[in-house]
Amino acid sequence: MDDEEDFLEELIAESTKLNPDFPKLMEVAAQRRQAARARGEDPNAEPEEDEADTTEEQPTAPHSKR
């Protein structure tokens, strides 16, 4: 195994420690890239405005003091 593979394995292990769902998130991302390639799209292209996440952060209510 070369240094690059060791680094990747270490990165995956550390990321999985921080977020146990990390391997599943990477699998979903790989599937989305594969689907984009199958549609003839660039999987690394920025999403067009109508495809971008347009969710706005909701303001939080101020904390009330008693």
pLDDT of 49: 72
Total domains in the fold of the chain? 1
pLDDT digits (tens, 9 = 90+) for 10-63: 999 999 999 999 999 999 999 999 999 999 999 888 877 765 555 565 555 555
Mean pLDDT rounded to a whole number for the chain:
81
Asked if residue 47 lies in contact with residue 58, where contact means CB atoms within 8 angstroms, the answer is no
In a domain, 43, yes or no: no
Q: How far is it, in rounded angstroms, from Cα 16 to Cα 32?
A: 20
List of residues 6+ apart from 34 with CB closer than 8 A = 43
Q: Does pLDDT of 3 surpass 60?
A: yes
Residue keyed to tokens 């009330």: 64
In a domain, 60, yes or no: no
In a domain, 9, yes or no: yes
Instruction: Report yes or no on whether pTM surpasses 0.95.
Output: no
- Print the domain residue range for 32: 3-38
Asked if residue 44 lies in contact with residue 36, where contact means CB atoms within 8 angstroms, the answer is no
